[in-house]
Amino acid sequence: MAEIPKHHVPEENNTTSEKTGIQEEVPYLALDIGGSLIKLVYFSRYEQSPAEDHDNTDMMKALEHRSHPVHGGWLHFVKFETRDINQCLDFIKFKQLHCRVGTDMESKQKGIAAKIKVTGAGAHKFADLFMEKIGVTVEKEDEMDCLAIGANFLLKVIQNEAFTFIEGKKESVDINKNDLFPYIFVNIGSGVSIHKVAGDGNSELVDGTRIGGITCWGLGRWLTKCKSFNEIIELSKCGNTKRIDLFVEDTFGDREYVEKHTNKWTGPPNMNIGSFGKAISENKTLEDCNAEDISLSLLEMISHNIAQIASLNARIYGIKRIFFGGSFMKDNACALATLSSSVHYASKGTAKAMFLRHEGFVGALGALTSYENKHDLFIMDNDKMWKLP
């Protein structure tokens, strides 16, 4: 990867802080604040800040923190729960990520507050808190536009960003940026939004559903007493939906009969026809079911529903490629498998489900690219290069 000259930074911006030991060179920082999660993306010259070597790192604890090399530095991806907004702001303050963002020396000398790009509902809800805690102004970016822009960014710039999930295995997909459009983009966050993306700057929100990640988390918390969404995912790995869902063979009571007459009926014996169906057919109570089975059934039910809606939209618009993003899929093999198989089944094999590796940070990346590029920043992954506007 080629190296570019470092930008000149005024001496006063290079002074170290007694609290952190370093001030990051961060010309770009953006957040996507949703109903359940905060997704933060920033650019830095360093893969890991020397500040992280200090003992006082409790405030920097996050649900997720990963990095990706780009031309001249690194893109960092950090995630917090929205209810921990103060912890997120402490993280920004501790690493001084806001000190060189969205302002210049002249504005700074005049006492004009720096501006940080923020998208999602939290851009409005927490605007005053940003000013109070870290002294910056929130510049709101349209959430739906940011999702489409961020998806285009990832698919065009980051090599091996997209992958399929078949029979439990991820397989990278080569994306031809000259033959990318049109596609359906499905963002599974707290809720679900479905976008028809026809080109750069040409996208439309066409559908969605309120039954998304926060529904799964909320029901899972009530039914299993899990304290986090990750716990639900972990429990699902040991679950068995045969003990809780209703299948074709259950309704006939004779597997051999169903197998013999499969062509006449709606599906094979092992086809799931009713999530949580055995709560009725076998008169089960919550105490009769284990948390593992409930978690798996929840994840499959919600993923299947989303896949059905996405496939319907792909059919309506005559589009064969469906890309899924959103934090719901992070380390969620059950969701990946269900979305893949359900899209294949619902579309009769005409549509293909693909997923983004930076799944939860699509909107934040879209907001990041909205900065005026005063630093001539190029982001490059192998032979692909993207210049921030």
> Once rounded to an integer, what is the mean pLDDT over residues 222-232?
95
Q: Is the dihedral of CA 358, 364, 368, 369 positive or negative?
A: positive
Q: Inform me whether the pLDDT recorded for 104 exceeds 90.
A: no
In this model, does residue 379 exceed pLDDT 70? no
Q: Give the per-residue pLDDT at 376.
A: 53
Domains of the chain, by residue range, sit at: 24-47+67-158+361-388, 213-239+290-357
pLDDT of the residue at 28: 86
pLDDT in tens, 229-244: 999 999 999 999 999 9
Could you tell me if 309 and 347 are in contact, meaning their C-beta atoms sit under 8 angstroms apart?
no
* Predicted model pTM: 0.86
pLDDT of residue 305: 98
Average pLDDT, rounded, for the chain: 85
From the CB of residue 340, how many other CB atoms can be counted at a distance below 10 Å? 22
Q: Which residues contact 16 (CB under 8 A, 6 or more apart)?
A: 22, 23
- 3-state SS string over the chain? CCCCCCCCCCHHHCCCCCCCCCCCCCCCEEEEECCCEEEEEEEECCCCCHHHHCCCCHHHCCCEEEEEEECCEEEEEEEEEHHHHHHHHHHHHHHCCCCCCCCCHHHHHCCCCCEEEEECCHHHHCHHHHHHHHCCEEEEECHHHHHHHHHHHHHHHCCCCEEEEECCEEEECCCCHHHCCCEEEEEECCCEEEEEEEECCEEEEEEEECCCHHHHHHHHHHHHCCCCHHHHHHHHCCCCHHHCCEEHHHHHCCHHHHHHCCCCCCCCCCCEEECCCHHHHCCCCHHHCCHHHHHHHHHHHHHHHHHHHHHHHHHHHCCCEEEEECHHHCCCHHHHHHHHHHHHHHCCCCCEEEEECCHHHHHHHHHHCCCCCCCCCEEEECCEEEECC
Which pLDDT score is estimated for 292? 98
Q: Is the pLDDT of residue 9 over 60?
A: no
Interval 278-321: pLDDT, tens: 999 888 899 999 999 999 999 999 999 999 999 999 999 999 99
Quote the tokens at residue 78: 């950090």
Name the packing angle between helices 127-134 and 85-95 (round to 10°). Answer: 40
Q: For 258-264, what is the mean pLDDT?
A: 65
Query: What is the pLDDT, as a whole number, of residue 4?
Result: 27
Q: At the topology level of CATH, where does 213-239+290-357 sit?
A: Nucleotidyltransferase; domain 5 (3.30.420)
Beta-bridge partner residues of 247: 272
* CA 295, 298, 303, 304 torsion-angle sign: positive
What fold characterizes domain 24-47+67-158+361-388? Answer: Nucleotidyltransferase; domain 5 (3.30.420)
Over residues 77-104, mean pLDDT? 87
- What is the mean predicted confidence (pLDDT) over 221-226? 95
In this prediction, residue 270 has a pLDDT band, given cuts at 50, 70 and 90, of confident
| The predicted structure's pLDDT at residue 8 | 30
Same CATH fold assignment for domains 24-47+67-158+361-388 and 213-239+290-357: yes
